[in-house]
Amino acid sequence: MLRSLLLYLFKFLFKIKLINFQRLRFNGPSVIISNHVSFLDAVFLYLLLPSNTVFVANTAIARRFSWFLRYCNHIDIDPLNPYSLKRIVQIVMAGTPVVLFPEGRISTTGGLMKVYDGIG
């Protein structure tokens, strides 16, 4: 209910126009890699992607945004811990779509920033 209401509100406020969105298939292992220009990026993806999508969040970011993350599927990872990748791989191999923000922070240039070793 909340998700549907927010989607309707965001489509009205931001004039969202999806092109060829129906071509995306999430019936197998899927990893969505997104740039991160705004905090709204994650909200848009949450509203538009399948409801079982899992968002990967750095533990520090997850603490700051726990109020939002409680409404969506997510895992907290320590980017310096190599075992964190195993959790992500298990979720992907189970067929659940996973969203990663490889820059690990909001882009200050509007372009792709450095991708850190942990996410690489």
Beta-strand (E) ranges in 1-120? 31-33, 54-58, 74-77, 98-100
**Residue 117 pLDDT > 70:** no
Segment 81-108, tens digit of pLDDT: 778 888 889 999 999 999 988 766 566 6
Q: Quick one: DSSP state of residue 22?
A: G
Range of the domain at 85: 2-100
Q: Which of 11, 36, 73, 96 is catalytic?
A: 36
Q: Which band of pLDDT confidence, cut at 50, 70 and 90, is reported for residue 52? A: very high
118 within some domain: no
109 within some domain: no
Q: Does 74 qualify as catalytic in the annotation?
A: no
Between strands 74-77 and 31-33, the pairing is: unpaired
The packing angle between helices 40-48 and 2-14, to 10°, is 120
Number of folded domains in the chain? 1
- Which CATH number goes with the domain that contains 94? 3.40.1010
What is the reported pTM? 0.80
42 within some domain: yes
